[in-house]
Amino acid sequence: MNTRYPYTAGAEESDDGLQQFPESEEGERRSSARAWVDAEGYLRRAQRILAITHLAPDGDAIGSLLAFGRGMQSLGKAVTMACQDAAHPRFNYLGGVHDIRQSGDGAFDLLVAIDASDLQRLGTIFLPVEHSRVPMVVFDHHITNTQFGAVNVVDSNSASSSEIIFKLLRRMDIHITGEIASALLTGIITDTLAFRTSSTTPETLATAMDLMRAGASLHDITRRALVLRSYDSIHFLAAGIMASQLDDGIVYATITRKMRKDMGVKEERGDAGLVGTLITAMEASAAAVFVENPDGSIDVGLRCAPGLDVSQVAFEFGGGGHTVAAGCTLPGPMRDAVNRMLARLRRMIREQ
């Protein structure tokens, strides 16, 4: 199922045929000092870099990509920033967002993947024939990362990839401009829901403080990246909430193409934050939102209460994420996707 990148030491298949992600004894993923040194070596030597973030990009994807791109450009390197899908217009306040391309064409001597847990998350930007000849450095914070690069700087203790890029820029003595600071703080604010997630650490707060001192506005970024939404999406969220069901500690909702069309929602993807709202039910051990894509496949967003782990569930279905927030894409039709996932989530709760 996974396209293997030639330099990869990837995820293993277990006896039951399900993919297991490699895990340290502490159940976390921390990148070695060696990986940092190797990554820096690759970056210092590179002249033409293709930097790629994951499809359907969120604030951390866009923020960490822009900060990396601008930072490396300040060293005189040619950096092309790319993502399969365009950034949401809410991120138009970020400098450089219009320089992000939706193609991976060109001649490059280094690929850099940011905030992506596996090669599939790079979507159409990764060109298997051309790019397999070029080394890849991975910067990421997903516990399910498949270590698909030649060098993998993966720290699942980091609340965002933006914090990892901040560390990289500091290590390389790259000046954090106001523009870079705003990009990185955007990533931190969106992935921590403004410092409210269990992934938020004192180091997250210290980084945010440094970024504010470098010129990023906390209140403005929080408002633009997290709070403001279209009136349409409020209706959409309300409809999703009304259509949701609570069953055995699982709150779930399905969003079909027809619902989206009937409501006149312009965006083809996304759940408008529905799964994050459903998991706020006190009765919920898990929440799932099933979104039907234009091609008939089903995007599944997953959340769980502390003590449970949806990252393993998502990973088994070819997706990934974090312990309490993860996702995957299943084949349609909707009813089959819902049945498969609910059965797996019930097992997760039973085996707790």
Residues near ligand AMP, by CB under 6 A = 117, 121, 142, 275, 301, 319-322, 325-329
CB of 327 to ligand AMP, least distance (A): 2
Q: Report which of 177, 178, 188, 164 is spatially closest to residue 112, judged by C-alpha positions.
A: 164
Of these, 8, 49, 51, 60, which contacts Mn ion (CB under 5 A)? 60
Least Å distance, CB 351 to ligand AMP, is 21
- Mark the segment that binds Mn ion (CB under 5 A) among 157-165, 172-180, 209-217, 286-294: 157-165
Vertex 248 angle, CA 244 and 250, to 5°:
45
With respect to Mn ion, which residue has the nearer C-beta, 191 or 309?
191
Residue 151 to residues 13, 81, 140, 163, 276, Cα–Cα distance (Å) = 22, 19, 11, 18, 33
Question: Could you say which of Mn ion, ligand AMP, none residue 304 binds, taking C-beta under 5 to 8 angstroms by partner kind?
Answer: none
**In which order are the strands placed within the sheet that holds 320-321?**
245-247, 250-255, 286-292, 298-304, 325-330, 320-321
Stretch that binds Mn ion, among 128-136, 153-161, 308-316, 344-352 (CB under 5 A): 153-161
Options 19, 39, 58, 251; binder of Mn ion; rule CB under 5 A: 58
The two three-digit tokens of residue 37, written as one number: 């040194």
Least distance from C-beta 297 to ligand AMP, angstroms?
Answer: 10
Nearer to Mn ion, 161 or 254 (CB): 161
Residue with tokens 């085996």: 351
Q: Which residues, including other chains, have CB under 8 Å from residue 186's CB and lie 6 or more apart?
A: 59, 60, 62, 63, 91, 94, 162, 221, 225
Smallest gap, in angstroms, from Cβ of residue 189 to Mn ion? 12
Rounded to a whole number of angstroms, the minimum distance from the CB of residue 337 to ligand AMP is: 12
60 makes contact, choosing from Mn ion, ligand AMP, none, with CB < 5 to 8 Å by partner type, with Mn ion
| Residue whose structure tokens are 């921590």 | 192
CB 64 → Mn ion: shortest distance, Å? Answer: 7
61 binds Mn ion (CB under 5 A): yes
Return the one option of Mn ion, ligand AMP, none that residue 61 interacts with (CB less than 5 to 8 A, by type).
Mn ion
CA distance 240 to 147: 36
Six-digit token string for 229: 């939404």
* Cβ proximity to Mn ion, 46 vs 125, nearer residue: 125
Residue 135 Cβ, how far from Mn ion at the closest point, in Å?
23
Site for Mn ion in 266-285 (CB under 5 A): none
What DSSP letter does each residue of 265-314 carry, written as one string? ---SS--TTHHHHHTTSTT-SEEEEEEE-TTS-EEEEEEE-TT--HHHHH
Question: Measured between alpha carbons, how far is residue 54 from residues 44, 86, 126, 140 in Å?
Answer: 24, 11, 10, 11
Cis omega (within 30 of 0) for bond into 333:
yes
Q: Are 284 and 249 in contact (CB under 8 A)?
A: yes
Residues between 179 and 208 that touch Mn ion (CB under 5 A): 191
What are the tokens at 248? 């055995």
Residue closer to Mn ion (CB basis): 58 or 316: 58
Nearest by Cα to 227 from 183, 193, 181, 184: 193
Nearer of residues 60 and 85 to Mn ion, judged by Cβ: 60
User: Which one, 58 or 292, has the nearer CB to Mn ion?
Assistant: 58
Binding mask 78-117 for Mn ion (x = CB under 5 A): -------------------------------------x--
Which stretches of the chain bind Mn ion, using CB under 5 A?
58, 60-61, 115, 161, 191
